Structure 1
Amino acid sequence: MNKNSWQIALAYMSVVIGGGFASGNEVLQFFTGYGIAGVAGSVVSAVLFAFLGMQIARISSIMQAGSHKQVLYIIFGKQAGFVVDLILSFFLYGVGVVMLAGAGSTLAQQFGLDPLVGSVLMTVLVIGTLCLNVKGIINLISAVMPFLLILVLAIMVYSIVTSTGSTEELNQAATEVPVITFLGAEVSHWALSGLLYASFNIAVGFPMLAVIGGLTKSPRAAGRGGVVGGLGLGFLIILLSIGLFANLDKLQGIEIPTLMLAQNIHPWLAVLLSLALVAMIYSTAVGMFFAFSARFAAPETKRFKVLSAIFTVVGLGLSQVGFTKLVGTVYPMLGVVGLVLIIAIAASWIRTRKRSTEELAKEAQSRI
């Protein structure tokens, strides 16, 4: 693993983890409601994250892509890729809005601030960051990952070890957790929920992962970074799933479950985690608004900066709907787009797995 591989892995994890993941809100809705079986669902997501991360980064590196649009055109063809790009961009904007709401909820739960205060603060930070160059944005996103990783690991391990609830009690508590809905209906099986979780998260991570992969000369190094990032994500999901289930009797009605667990350990740990959550929400928000704005203007141009500011401010207004409601509404719909991506990426892998890098590069150039 070289420096580029590690950068891809960390940036991939940072963009996907974001506010819903690291807060435990997503994991609670997608896995914990199925009881102990939800842990198996998190394993399904882990395997998919590793495979999809490898393929996206590798394809992007082969064609030296400058945006996710180019990768979509390779996977789907130009016309279908254009349609998928439009739909994906719309839902990515929705995820950016969710992140602004998540910042408000985190600071409200920890510090008692009005949710609007946290959302406004995050809006200002996102706009300021989008005025940087692309490499500067990637470096900032990658830098915040190790701190949160260590913190969440410590909190989850401690919470699992000190859990006092019996399996029967915890499974009973799980029946009171509303599971995720998809196309208007509750998802009835943990395996399908695991698939949907990977599908909407890969849709979230796809644009930034495609850009980072395109900055890497070696497809092999890019693929390794995608695999390591995906496995890291999978490990965190599994750990979060176990930790939340083990303490489910204490988490009913809580919007930021990991923050509550940190508070139970020590108030100062909760303060540290709240700051780390804001940092992760920030990294995902930047990634989403960057990808959306890049759809309409070239990054680093004046037009891009103006549009980024406008889109983010509009997102601030939309974020006032509420964090949990937005997670349960936007993410399942984004899952449809992600499912289409998973199928197309798998088909591309089957079609090209025995071909050389040179052959794939020539095909990529002919299809753009």
Structure 2
Amino acid sequence: MSSSIKLGGAFIGLMAGVGFASGQEVLQFFISYGWPGLAGAVIASLLMSFLVMTLYMIGSRLKTDSHDEAINFICGPWLGKVMDWMITFFLFGSVVVMLAGAGSSAHQQAGVPQALGSAIAAVLTIIIVCLGIKRVITLLSLITPILAVMIVVIAIYSLSTMDKSFSELEKIIRTEPQATNNWFLSALLYVSYNVAATAAMLVVMGGTVKESAKAGIGGVIGGLGVGLLILVMSLALMAKADVINGVEIPTLHLSNQMSRWFGSVVLVLFQIKLLLTSIGLTFALAARLRSYGIPFFWGAALSVSTAYVASLLGFVKLVGIVYPAMGYMGSVLIVCIVFAWVRIWRQRED
């Protein structure tokens, strides 16, 4: 059971950077649609639990240390090659957004130039990624309880100090940027881009667990945990819709509303979360490039250096462009994962 909890915590920690820690992702994909966005969060949570469970189980069954074998199993040899390149692109795109978020949060809180903040995160990513996958999993799972407490504290503050009615706040929140023009489609795209961005890392993490059933339970724990945190954060953002309007990093802004000291603590936690997520994604990316004969360290260095240049476009712009595009392309992968689960289920019955 401990391995299941560790995998579940690692997924939540991984998702913290890619999917919801800044609040900007939750804002654009869920709560900017008002109350229907909460229904979207519930749907996303259930679907994500199923998909992560399946990916963990596949990784465990194959004992894989790179995503190419697992993707060929999921998609077949021909489509698998196409998806392999797409997932490599997804990994790179997600690292770009992580570095941009690191620079943006450092600038918003401490006035550090965005380019410098992103550069520091890039250098640390290259150095720490060489620690190995098991240490990365441990670090990701350790940050999860701290993350959960931070989100709950911000939510309690937001709900207890709101000075407008929810009907007024809903009108304000609907003026924020939206990922698509439909809340249900946004929920599906949210799942799609997150699964696409983390699939390579998830199958590798699943490969560290001997029993596929325990790996699958870890996926369910992680998916439901992410869904719960998204719902809590959505309520926090809704309660302060008038305060976060036009802000790049809503969670950091709200923490500063509480106190400058708490804001500084949240900045440190936010930077750690982004860094760990960037490390996890870079590990999977470098592991894939290694199969083309590129040494692990140089694959990581080349990937992160290129991602740093792209990150200079800006965090909010990248979230609005990269993630929806990944969501549309990643929908093909989701369909393949569902069929892979059916195959696994039939094999168990036989």
TM-score by length of 2: 0.95
| 2:285 aligned partner | 292
Say if 2:7 and 2:137, in contact at 8 Å, map to a contact too: no
Query: Which letter does structure 2 place at the counterpart of 1:73?
Result: N
Distance 1:20 1:324 in 2: 13
1:152-177 deviation per Cα after TM superposition (whole angstroms, max 9, x unaligned): 12111321232222122112212311
Distance 2:156 2:105 in 1: 22
Distance 2:202 2:260 in 1: 35
| 1:47 aligned partner | 46
Task: Pick from 323, 339, 343 the counterpart of residue 347 of structure 1.
Answer: 339
Task: Pick from 263, 266, 274 the counterpart of residue 273 of structure 1.
Answer: 266
Say if 2:91 and 2:198, in contact at 8 Å, map to a contact too: no
Distance 1:217 1:329 in 2: 38
| 1:171 aligned partner | 170
Distance 1:166 1:263 in 2: 22
Equivalent residue runs for 1:82-93 within 5 Å: 82-93=81-92
Task: Pick from 183, 189, 195 the counterpart of residue 188 of structure 2.
Answer: 195
CA offset at residue 71 of structure 1?
Answer: 1.4
SS in 1 for 2:269: helix
SS in 2 for 1:66: coil
Distance 2:198 2:93 in 1: 14
Say if 1:20 and 1:102, in contact at 8 Å, map to a contact too: no
Number of residue pairs the alignment of both structures matches: 350
Task: Pick from 227, 232, 238 the counterpart of residue 231 of structure 2.
Answer: 238
| 2:295 aligned partner | 303
Task: Pick from 202, 205, 212 the counterpart of residue 212 of structure 1.
Answer: 205
Say if 1:16 and 1:204, in contact at 8 Å, map to a contact too: no
The 1:19/1:212 distance shift into structure 2, 3 A limit, reads closer
The 1:302/1:31 distance shift into structure 2, 3 A limit, reads closer
Query: Which letter does structure 1 place at the counterpart of 2:169?
Result: L
Q: Bigger shift: 346-355 or 80-89?
A: 346-355
1:58-92 deviation per Cα after TM superposition (whole angstroms, max 9, x unaligned): 12111212222111111111121111010111121
Structure 1 residue runs of 4+, over 6 Å off?
A: none
Say if 1:15 and 1:204, in contact at 8 Å, map to a contact too: no
SS in 2 for 1:253: coil
| 1:332 aligned partner | 324
| 2:148 aligned partner | 149
CA offset at residue 133 of structure 1?
Answer: 2.2
Query: Which letter does structure 2 place at the counterpart of 1:107?
Result: A
Query: Which letter does structure 2 place at the counterpart of 1:243?
Result: A
Equivalent residue runs for 1:89-168 within 5 Å: 89-168=88-167
Alignment of 1:317 onto 2:309: yes
CA offset at residue 239 of structure 1?
Answer: 1.0
Distance 1:189 1:349 in 2: 28
SS in 2 for 1:321: coil
Query: Which letter does structure 1 place at the counterpart of 2:158?
Result: S
Query: Which letter does structure 2 place at the counterpart of 1:327?
Result: V
- RMSD over equivalenced CA pairs, Å: 1.8
Say if 2:18 and 2:194, in contact at 8 Å, map to a contact too: no
| 1:59 aligned partner | 58
Where structure 1 has 5 or more consecutive residues not aligned to the other structure, the ranges are: 181-186, 360-368
Query: Which letter does structure 2 place at the counterpart of 1:56?
Result: L
CA offset at residue 247 of structure 1?
Answer: 1.0
SS in 2 for 1:131: helix
SS in 2 for 1:130: helix
Say if 2:173 and 2:245, in contact at 8 Å, map to a contact too: no
CA offset at residue 46 of structure 1?
Answer: 0.7
Where structure 2 has 5 or more consecutive residues not aligned to the other structure, the ranges are: none
| 1:365 aligned partner | none
1:222-279 deviation per Cα after TM superposition (whole angstroms, max 9, x unaligned): 0000000000011011111111112111111100001111111121111111111111
| 1:22 aligned partner | 21
SS in 2 for 1:254: coil
Distance 2:209 2:312 in 1: 38
Alignment of 1:34 onto 2:26: no
Say if 1:12 and 1:208, in contact at 8 Å, map to a contact too: no
The 1:201/1:210 distance shift into structure 2, 3 A limit, reads same
